[in-house]
Each structure stands twice: as C-alpha cells, then as structure tokens.
Amino acid sequence: MIVAAQRSPHLSVRWMVVLCAAVVMTAGCSSTKWVNLLSVPRNPLVEELGLTGSVQPTPRVMQLLRVYNLTEDLSGDPRVLLEKLQAVADREPSADKIYALSELAYLGGHRFQQLDPQRARSLYGSAVLHAYRYLFDPGFAAGRNPYDPEFRGACTLYNVSLEQSLRIELRDHRFAPGQTITIQTASGPCDITCRLRGGEWDPNEFDRFDFVSNYEITGLKNQYQSYGLGVPLIAVRKSYIGEAAAARYYPPNLSFPVTAFVRPLPADPASAAADGSVRRHADLDLYDPLTTDSIVTANTRVPLQSDLSTPLAYFLSDPTLNSWADDGLLRPDRLLNPRGGPLGQHQAVMGLYMVQPYQAGKIPVLFVHGLWSSPMTWMEMFNDLRSSPEIRSRYQFWFYLYPTTQPFWISAAQLRRDLAEVRRVLDPQHQEPALDQMVVIGHSMGGLVAKLQTVNSGDDFWRLASAWPLPGVKASPELRDQLRDTFYFQPNPSIRRVITIATPHRGCPSSKTTQWLLHKLISPVQMFVQEQQQLFRENPGAFAEGSLMKIENSVDSLEPSTPIFPVMLCNRSLPWLKCNNIVGLLPPHELFSRLAPGTDGVVSVESAHLDNAESELIVAAPHMTIHAHPLVVLEVRRILMAHLAALEAFPQSPPLQTAAQPTPVWK
C-alpha cells in the first residue's frame, strides 16, 4: 500500500498548499468572524408591544384597564397607574391583574429607559417580580392556563424585564456575585442579592458580563439553546490570586455561558414598617447551564433559558486565537512565548487548554489538531458534542496546541510531557479513576501524535534515529533527556481509546514543487535547529542521511518513505486500548475527486486505513473539513457513548500504573 501511495503525488496537496500560501501572503493573519454585534439587541416584545412605534398595552390589558376605569392614567406617571392597579389586585386578586401589573411595569421601564435609568430599573424589576408571581403564586393556580398566550407572555415578560434591568446594572458596573441592589415596587422596596449557584466557577473569576441577545453567530453552523426562564449571559473570566491549580490551563479572556434567574424570597411580616409595608428580598441566581439545566422554585421544576454556543463564539473571536494555526506552521517560535496574564508568565502558548473548569469524575476527551491548524479547528465538533446532556455530564473536553512545523514525533514527545504534568497538577496521588479513561481524538497529523501516546518504543525508534547507542552520543544533559523522551517511551496507561480522523497512517506524499514551496514558507523552531546542528557537529557519523534526526519539518516527516510508519503500524496493540478510525473520501462532485481519486484530497484511503481498528467509517468529505462533518460528529458521539457503556459494564476495572521509562540498551 505504501508503494501505491507513492506512485504519484496528490495534485490536490500541491494546489492546497499553493492556495493557502497565497491567502496567507496576501491576507496575513485574518481573523475568523465568529459573531456579529447586532445594532439592536433581540427582544421578543418589540412587535407584540409596538416598542418601535406607538407603545400600547396588549388588548387584554387595555380591556382590564377599561373595566376598572384606569385608561386615563396611561399617559401619566407609570408608578401612579401601578399603585392604583395594585390596590385593585389587593381587593380582588386574580392572575390577569398580576399579569397586567407586569406588562405595565415593563412598558413604564421602556418609557423611562433613556430619561431616568434608575426609575426604569425599578420598573423593570417590578415587572420581573409580578411575572414571577403570576407564574408561581399558588393562589393563582386556578387562573393559570399554560395554553393561554398570557401564560407564555408572562414567561417572556419575566425574561425580557430581567434582561433590561441587568443591562442598567451592568452599565453602572454594579452587577457581580455578592452584591445587593434595591428596587422600588408598587408594594414597597425589594433588596435583590446576586448569588452564584452550582457549577464549578468561583465568584472571583467573574470579570464582566455581556448579553447573548447582543450577538448573532456567524462562525458556528449550529446554535444550541434551551428554552425556559432566565437570561442567557456571556461571562468573561479573570485570573486571581489563589485560583485553582487547573486555572493554568485556561486561555486568556475565556468566556463561558451563564443564566441569570431572579427568585423572590418569602416576606417576613415581622419586618413590616409602621405603614404596613414590608421590605421584600429576592435572590438573583447565576447558574452554569452546562451543569444545571433546570431548577426547582415554588415547588415547581423550571427549565432554564440558556445559550451554549454564543459565549463560545464570542470567546473564539479573539484575534490571538485565530492566529495560532499560522503561527504553528509559519512562526512556531511565537508558540513558545508566555501565554500572558499575571499568573501564567512561565507557561508557553503551546500546550494543553481547557475551556471549562476541571471536574473530578468526568472523563477527559483530548482533541489534537493536524498540520497548519490549531484547537480552533475542533470548535464545530466541540459545540455539537457539548450540546448532548449525556456527553457533557460524563466528559470534559481538553485541547492541545503545538507547532505543526516540527516532525510529528517531537510533538508527540511534548504531548507526553504535558499529559504527565497535567496529571501531577490535577491528581498527583492518582486517585481519580476518570483520568484513567481518557479518549484522544486526532485529525490528520494529530492522529499520529495521538497514536504515539499509546506505543511501546523499545529500541525501535532510536534505531531509526542513529546507528549509535544513545549513551554513546555526545550531548548536554538537557538534550540527552529530550532525545530519551522523544525516542524511548512507554504507552500512557490513562489513554483507553484513540479516535483517528483522516490520519495518514502510512504517510502522505507531496511533490517536489510542494516541498520547495513549504521550505520557503515554513520557519522551523529555532531552538530545535540549533540543538540539531550542534548534535551533528559533536557526533560526526552518528546520524545517517536517512535518520529521523535529519528530518527538519512536518511535511518531510509525513513522506511515505519515512521509516517511522512501518514501525508504528507493526507496534502491537495494547490490551486496554481501543482504536476507532474515520477515513475521508472526496465526494464525487468535488473538483479534485477526479484529480486525486481514492483520497480525501490530501490523504489516500489506503494510507488512512487502520487494520486493528475496533471500527472504521468512510465518510464522503474533504480532508480539511471532515472533522466537522455531521456524520463524523455522530460517529464520534456514538463512540463516546460506547466508551461509557463499556466502562459501566466493567466498573471495577482498576487503572493501570504508569510504567517506568525504558532504559536504552541497544548497542
């Protein structure tokens, strides 16, 4: 199969490189636009209440005002009308009057939003509390009808009024966990305290908030929302002194989904003032919708309104993230720079990333990208997988960023070190069994990096590097350690499953023109080049021309003639490891399907095939986008669910202990 793959270079590889090079050279590091800022935030009440024109209550509220001779008060101070209607509701309580109070309070807030924001804030707050009472007060149970448009309207009034109130608070920078605000309602003052409920985020991590309704997603195909009560927010994280150890793996300016929900507390009659008014209290609760999708309030299970995708797209719009793919191939030394932030100066940009707090008990799924790529390439699959409650309740998702300019076995060695480090940070005593059920998913060259985490090297890989035994090679202690880490290693016993997608298990040929062009574009890691040249000077004759040490970049390392591929394919499968494979094939209608038949445009079906895979699926999709294809996402989800089923079938399977590093003994 290797001979067949070498017969002629894939034309599409050549064209892909030429086109990508042209884009990079002409456009530079352009950012993907993941979200658009809307000129006007989305508001479902705009049409119903005529907020863009002549603002009027709904016909049913107008009828109620006519019945009680209150229509003339519509043009006056909203608080006067609300007080009169509140007096009517106190004498003759009914659900429709409470609904009218909520709607009229919202309209009053809208009227004063620009003229008097503080008065508007109290009116919006009143609308929230009245809507809550309409929906949950047991005294109105008989008058509530979930099929009545007024019932659905009360849900919308609750959500929109709460959002408008929060907008005013955010404008005044007063909205944060632990803070209390006071609003004036028709029935007296109400103190509202912001509290963080559930989830893994710490109150100190909240830097600022934005509203999901401000944005329109453009960079993700699917937007995952749930419908209920509450306001979906975008929370932006900040670092702080004393943060959790896992915080070192969070990217800067990470944003995450939050849902805000107001819950009035029972009134205390003992706190009544001389005039009989009672000071009321309420909690403004912040929930992580990834861990809490519903709550119980007033003895009722209530689904939370949420949006998981917009906060993700908001975070991905950071231009720094969108430059990672180009940096990894064309400017790899940038990935060795510090990540930034006062608490992470010692960490390089490359390495392991988490976009959610680490949670003990959840199995890590590690995504490893391919050539000229970055963790951004996984966001479609991540967005889709995380939308499944079954998946997100059992798995946590990690991402690996590495310089794709270097030979893939060097990246594999770096990943081995980083996985060992994350275990020392998160679970130094190895007491967390979920970390011993890790799933690694690799696309293209990333699949080779992933596979090398599960291989027992013996002397096989060092033999491909040098004719001398490692102890006989003259090198500094640091460089000797790097050579040992790269060519002598044991399989990681915590990895129980590897999923490879469009991976060149037998290499991927490129033409002389392609190689020449890439050598002009690629900037190798300078530290690697300097150490390599020094090693050659001090050890003449130790590294033959066909040695792995002579291969300087990733494109050359992927040539089918590279001797590492037969060694990797012949390596015996480990008894605890499961492998699943996904192969790409250009659809018949694709332009390149006739120029490069039997390939995905880059990797041939023969090279992508894996003999010992537990399952193998061929998907009609091009190489660069196959990992975002719906059939591939569904297959990965199926595999992850099968992984859970196998774990539940053998729940007592003890984690394997990490074996000692092998000693080079070949002479």
Query: What tokens does 237 get?
Result: 């994280």
> pLDDT of 298-352, one tens digit each?
999 999 999 999 999 999 999 989 889 888 888 888 888 777 544 444 578 999 9
The Cα–Cα gap between 496 and 633 comes to 20
pTM of the model: 0.90
Query: What tokens does 70 get?
Result: 């209150």
> pLDDT of 544-586, one tens digit each?
988 999 998 999 999 999 999 999 999 877 888 999 999 999 9
Query: What was the pLDDT predicted at 273?
Result: 63
Measuring CA to CA, how many Å separate 397 from each of 291, 363, 446, 650, 661? 14, 8, 16, 23, 28
Average confidence (pLDDT) over 607-628: 96
> pLDDT of 142-199, one tens digit each?
889 999 999 999 999 999 999 999 999 888 777 788 888 888 777 778 898 999 998 8
Query: What was the pLDDT predicted at 552?
Result: 87
The Cα–Cα gap between 606 and 571 comes to 18
Burial grade of 106 (CB within 10 A; 0-12, 13-18, 19 or more): buried
Q: Among positive and negative, which fits the CA dihedral 617, 623, 629, 633?
A: positive
The Cα–Cα gap between 453 and 492 comes to 6
Residue 559's nearest CA partner among 13, 12, 149 is 13
The Cα–Cα gap between 35 and 317 comes to 7
Residue 104's nearest CA partner among 10, 186, 167, 14 is 186
> Phi/psi zone of residue 389: left (φ > 0), alpha (ψ -120 to 50 degrees), beta?
alpha
Q: What average pLDDT is seen over the chain?
A: 88
| Contacts by residues 167-174 (CB-CB < 8 Å, ≥ 24 positions apart) | 167/211, 168/113, 168/117, 168/118, 168/120, 168/121, 168/124, 169/121, 170/208, 170/209, 171/117, 172/117
> pLDDT of 198-215, one tens digit each?
889 999 999 999 999 999
Residue 367's nearest CA partner among 586, 623, 633 is 633
- What type of residue is 266? P
> pLDDT of 416-464, one tens digit each?
999 999 999 999 999 999 999 999 999 999 999 999 999 999 999 999 9
Q: Does residue 281 carry a pLDDT above 80?
A: yes
Phi, psi angle pair for 312, to nearest 5°: -65, -50
The Cα–Cα gap between 220 and 625 comes to 13
The Cα–Cα gap between 209 and 176 comes to 9
**219 in Cβ contact with 35 (< 8 Å):** yes
Confidence of residue 87 (pLDDT cuts 50, 70, 90): very high
The Cα–Cα gap between 102 and 620 comes to 54
Q: Does residue 525 carry a pLDDT above 80?
A: no
What are the respective helix, strand and coil percentages of the chain, to the nearest 5?
A: 45, 20, 40
Q: Are strands 351-354 and 395-401 parallel, antiparallel or unpaired?
A: antiparallel
Which domains does the chain carry? 2-29+323-648 (3.40.50.1820), 45-267+278-310 (no CATH)
**246 in Cβ contact with 423 (< 8 Å):** no
